Amino acid sequence: MKKYEYILFDLDGTLVYSHPGIFAGIRHALREMGRDEGMATEETLRKCVGPSLVYSFTHFFGMNEEDAKQATAIYRAQYSKTGLYKSAPIEGAKEALKALKEKGYVLAMATSKPGVFAEKIAEYFDFAKYFTVLVGCGLDGSLPTKADVIEEVVRRLGAEKEKCLMVGDRKHDVEGAKIAGVDCVLLNVGYAEAGEADLCQPTYEWQDYDELLAKLG
């Protein structure tokens, strides 16, 4: 395996289990939009953890782009009040960040969650101190794709892409990294569906943070 200097981390499903707050926010948005809340099955909601909200509302709940943007605004208003801290750190995540930082890696967060929310969660769980750069999408619609977020992280770091490694748990992380020209690990600690790695073909597929530390040690 080649030597990396910069490790980029996704947030939802990679560092924290965030689904309780996300599920509640989506159900709230569907109710407010007058949509059938029965569409929000557990299986469908799990698919919403990772991609952007506009993507989820259009692809999984049949909304057009205008309605999806309205639903996203409703979701975010609710999420900022009640859903933000309905998360739990994934086993081994914080310890891995500390160990990698001590080994000399430069760490960054690259998430499709709005940056203002990601920063609060990172502070709440004491992750923020390990990151040189933290980037999420903008509430104004900026950085709408995972590839955009990764590109912005690389730009802020002033890094060479071949020295960067993205760590995520969903195909959206892998696909975004590929578009951005960065290698990616699919870490099997989060919300990936069965066979997802076979479909998206990450650079590496590792089981947990113990294996990540072993590989990057």
Which pLDDT tens digit goes with each residue over 79-122? 998 888 889 999 999 999 999 999 999 999 999 999 999 999 99
Q: What is the CATH number of domain 6-17+88-216?
A: 3.40.50.1000
Note the pLDDT of residue 51. 86
Note the pLDDT of residue 49. 87
Q: What is the CATH number of domain 19-83?
A: 1.10.150
Domain ranges in the chain with CATH number 1.10.150 = 19-83
**DSSP label of 83:** I
Q: How many CB atoms lie within 10 A of CB 47?
A: 16
Note the pLDDT of residue 203. 98
Domain ranges in the chain with CATH number 3.40.50.1000 = 6-17+88-216
Note the pLDDT of residue 55. 94
> Residue 178: which H helix or E strand, with range?
helix 171-180
Quickly tell me which residue has 């782009």 as its tokens. 65
Determine the Cα angle at 183 with ends 152 and 164, to 5°.
Answer: 55
Q: Which residues are catalytic?
A: 10
User: Distance between CA atoms of 109 and 96, rounded to whole angstroms?
Assistant: 14
Q: pLDDT under 70 in the chain at which residues?
A: none
Determine the Cα angle at 154 with ends 151 and 158, to 5°.
Answer: 140
Note the pLDDT of residue 143. 95
> Is the pTM of the predicted complex or chain greater than 0.85?
yes
Note the pLDDT of residue 193. 86
Note the pLDDT of residue 4. 98
Note the pLDDT of residue 153. 98
Note the pLDDT of residue 152. 98
pLDDT by residue (tens digit) across 18-38?
999 999 999 999 999 999 888
Please state, in angstroms and as integers, the Cα–Cα distance from residue 42 to each residue in 23, 71, 149, following that order.
9, 19, 28
Helix, coil or strand: residue 168:
strand
**How many Cα atoms within 13 Å fall on the side-chain side of residue 87?**
26
Note the pLDDT of residue 2. 87
> β-strands 164-168, 6-9: how paired?
parallel
